[in-house]
Structure 1
């Protein structure tokens, strides 16, 4: 296999010695200038080398075609949304790479081949306007849901332009609401008013680049005339202030603002005629739904003042009237509390029902809660298959209908329509199998981490594997931000990896939410080493069971999972035969200076304010802990130029430091795509094919002629 050598790269990029002259502390700060000619010349040279190498592999063309075929298949389940009395869906395929927003009736949606009507064609819009538009979301005004705010991103970045769209006319509203490019937070207050958080004047953003001022913008009003309703502080952490509006099926509403103090702590304010009033709920709590005049709250920490039963991970309710009258002293009642191995997955609602999805030992459950007159709730579990991921896909505010989906590693995704008032379930969609799973099996196993904690993980493999360490195995995890990793049907993973004899492992390490807030908090800040120990423990357990071995074990992760990959790469190079590092965080010393990195200090700690945090990351930061002369596996590093969330700077600098040390790597930076694999299906398929070609070159035998 060809490898990227220092001699090759110094012939096509600025010599290391010249770059180092800029700053002894960090010779690669120039790569943080995202679109500078110098930085892009560096990117293009490494892209050219890596893509030429991987695309010349005999496997690449087939892998690309398979990935694109699966991604653009017509028989995918079109994700539904109950909107304006019909079913809406956003759809991408080979003819609509950027996608179309379309609609049909519920009755027609339930048929095998619905007759869709296009509402908005993103490819055509981008072509007409000379923009690389990517649809980032729509928000329609309840209860009529005729007027919608459409968020458009140029190239896939998080920053968006917002335009008002009328579903009745199928056109953008002439003279309607329009917000220029920015990281906006928006909520409909009523037909003629929006609550908007944005940078109202140049520089009015937090250190992490998010808004901290909320104003009420009236229809036809210039943004300069909008009226302020809440102001946080420029020093606020997290993702910036966010306005929100809850509505129930009877027309009641509650407008509020969430002010993040860091990644996970926030203050909640109720918007009243007399101004914004602080709601006295825990700082790790979120307003979720409004049902029959009851405000539903997710608790990510205990609420002792509400009672001993209000533990972290619970769901509580408060009376809307009381919240409005006395936000400083709300009275709460318990709705749901987790058991020892339970965690809360999601909360949603129909017109009259509260819907709660949970995990029980990482197995999905779905429940319908009905408010009892005078207080309290009755609950019923929906009768769905066991051992799968379960979640509510869409709910109808005008009725008690909801779509609920199920998925498993070997079980194709299935969509049911349920009448939550009766519990009746009707299967309406199921994707055809995308790969042959007849010879595969799923196991849920446990590894023992460095502190003795049992770490569950799933392994998908052939039934007849030889337990001699020879099975090519791909392992992944996320390990952060209380994000749960659960079984999911991936046609791409099945076709491109499992069918070729590979095994797939999903590790439920700490930092995630699989077992509630405590599972997450066990690895916060300077306690984070335990997350990385968990991951390594799963790898060692796989080897102890002789499922795989270091030369046959590859790992893959993105974003925070990319940080996980970087740490495992530097701490345990002997355990891996391949490492895929995607849109990663890797420079944990300058994280607050890059893209939106300052918003995640609640997760990682603040190296600028806390010497203990600085000392911790100096020992773990992947960018700072690469060492010359170490036998690292050759990694595949992927990022995108348009990633304005994590930023491509981390990946670039990590690769440059490897290059400086004469270490081999492959690097690919897509020029679009935002914080993801690509801005359209072909870009995403190319990223998948490059990644899978790399993994198969490293872990599987050479292809037959």
Structure 2
């Protein structure tokens, strides 16, 4: 097509304007264009004159979480207000989201009604009729032409066989639209240390990105048979790596564009064929810092309940004495932290002979769905115990001392480091807390907070509040207690978490304790916290000036 839908955020927030752009003419369309004002829309082309739209505007409605509650088909030249809903959710749902698969030139509109962050119904819309796909509500489903892929989150029994959590099943989409999934076959089965991260389709192959003890490897398989092969990217063993995959045109060929990166290796573009692999490097990112004398290794800590928790450590190969450490973590929403090139931390921290650590704590997806489910709701404390265990392991190993350890987390990671501040203040010398959740009593009433009840619990339910209050940093502040120095930052335009929780936390720490507290809040930036490269540079310069003045002042 020579038309594109362009999303433009006025201030960096999630709400965006949608405008139709003419690629051939290199200008926005002014003759009967598709156009939407700023909101949290989801839109997708059905064909050149029809869009599948989920928006709260023009009579669409909104859920308690602030996302669209209906899906509609919008015909060019007509008023969206006149388009009736083809599927609707409930106010208590997270929202209604849309996608259209165009494999082989055939449009298959898909509508997802997300009941919570992990449970949803997926409907295929054809010929004016919506058909529910026969998969568990907690499964992840993907349609590609005549095929479908289903990744289980919890065990699923189908056709007399039970498939473990984290299994990938592939088969004809009709087995989900007209049957019960009986014609699906197993494409991947997880093990204790090897799990599925993502998958990508090409014309003839299904490409799996697998995490093996939290490092990527690529597997190419025939979705209709048993043929499979591993694609060796030829990156060597001098670094720890992750990889992401894109295809130029999955309808036409089997060419893969793979971006690999490591803690010491800038993004490297590798092109290969998925059927007959012959990887070749076609581009490398510019090195942002000098890696001479640095090494990246994986270590394991033991958490409070005996669980082994891995972490990546990057620092001097030959270590001398106690060093400042900057820790990073997330531990939520099944998001895995894999090796990434530290383009900012490298020059600002590692080049100075310091140590950078990424903790793969429970709540994330580093070891599949079970690793995530282990730290949900009443078990949230496990994520925080894991992170504290990594900090203490660094001390035990002689890398550092508690007063030289800093941690930086954003969003759910901001909640993580907020709990380090309030629950483990003696294990850290400084805390950097970005765009965070911190007031867990009121988080469901702020911005998109209601959408995360499945992750944390519902504070308006007395039974849930009994455990939620145990990891609500704002409520865990003890007047007069000694806390490490903190830098808290947010953005006024953040429409996902919002700045209110960060403001309250900084204010209470300032008013009720003697702790050193710094607060930063630009207007623009949304949940990213910064609006452009200059603002990002300014934020991280501030963060590292703070770290230099606290945990690294003598280094």
Shorter-chain TM-score tier: over 0.9
1:252–1:223 CA distance, 2 compared to 1 (3 A): closer
**Pairs within 5 Å for 1:591-602:** 591-602=443-454
Report the CA distance between 1:394 and its aligned residue.
4.2
Please point out which of 599, 602, 617 is paired with 2:468.
617
* Higher RCO, Cα 8 Å, sep 6+: 1
Residue aligning to 2:98: 243
User: Is residue 2:167 matched to residue 1:314?
Assistant: yes
Q: Give me the whole-angstrom Cα distance separating, in 2, the residues matched to 1:395 and 1:631.
A: 55
Which residue of 1 is the match for residue 69 of structure 2?
212
Any conservation in 2 of the 1:481–1:511 contact (CA below 8 Å)? yes
Deviations 1:662-691 (A, max 9, x none): 433000001111111311110010001000
Tell me which residue corresponds to 1:41.
none
Residue 398 of structure 2: SS of its match in structure 1? Answer: coil
TM-aligned CA distance change 1:306 to 1:356, over 3 Å: farther
Gaps of 5+ in 2: none
In 1, Cα distance between equivalents of 2:495 and 2:196: 30
Any conservation in 1 of the 2:53–2:74 contact (CA below 8 Å)?
Answer: yes
Q: Is the 8 A contact 1:154 1:160 kept in 2?
A: yes
SS in 2 for 1:407: strand
Partner residue of 1:695 out of 518, 531, 547: 547
Residues 202 and 247 in structure 2, CA contact (< 8 A), matched pair in contact too? no
**1:135-189, Cα deviation, whole Å (9 max, x unpaired):** xxxxxxxxxx422110000010100110111212211122211111111011211
SS in 2 for 1:505: strand
Structure 1 gaps, min length 5: 1-144
- TM-aligned CA deviation for residue 191 of structure 1: 1.5
Query: TM-score by structure 2 length?
Result: 0.95
2:241 matches 1:388: yes
SS across alignment from 2:485: coil
Would the alpha carbon gap of residues 216 and 377 (structure 1) be closer, same or farther in structure 2, given more than 3 Å must change?
farther
Question: Aligned equivalents of 1:329 and 1:339: distance in 2?
Answer: 23
Count how many residue pairs are aligned between Structure 1 and Structure 2. 548
Query: What root-mean-square deviation, in Å, do the aligned CA atoms of Structure 1 and Structure 2 show?
Result: 1.7
Counterpart for residue 9 of structure 2 = 153
Q: For residue 347 of structure 2, what is the aligned residue in structure 1?
A: 495
* Aligned match for 1:199, one of 39, 50, 56: 56
The answer to whether 1:354 aligns with 2:206 is: yes
How far the C-alpha of 1:328 sits from its partner, in A, is 5.7
Matched with 1:63 is none
Q: Indicate conservation of the 8 Å contact 1:278/1:328, yes or no.
A: no
Secondary structure class of the residue paired with 1:491: coil
Mapping of 1:290-329 within 5 angstroms?
Answer: 290=144, 293-306=146-159, 308=161, 310-324=163-177, 326=178
Shift of 1:555: 0.6
Residue 251 of structure 1: how far off its partner (Å): 2.9
Q: Does structure 2 retain, via aligned residues, the 8 Å contact 1:214–1:229?
A: yes
SS state at 1:617 partner: helix
Supply the distance in 2 between the matched residues of 1:323 and 1:378 (Cα, whole angstroms).
24
Which residue number corresponds to residue 233 of structure 1? 90
**Which residue pairs with 1:565 in the alignment?**
417
Structure-1 residue corresponding to 2:291:
437
> By how many angstroms is 1:389 displaced?
0.7
Counterpart check, 1:554 vs 2:410? no
Cα offset, 1:288, TM superposition: 2.3
Change beyond 3 A, Cα 1:253–1:689? same
Matched, 1:450 2:304: yes
* Alpha-carbon distance, 1:203 to partner: 8.5
Residues 203 and 274 (structure 1), Cα distance of their counterparts in 2 relative to 1, 3 Å cut: closer
Q: Deviations over 1:285-331 (max 9, x none)?
A: 2222415x21122222222125545221121123134444x156663
Normalised to the residue count of structure 1, the TM-score between the two structures is 0.75
Question: 1:261 maps to which residue?
Answer: 115
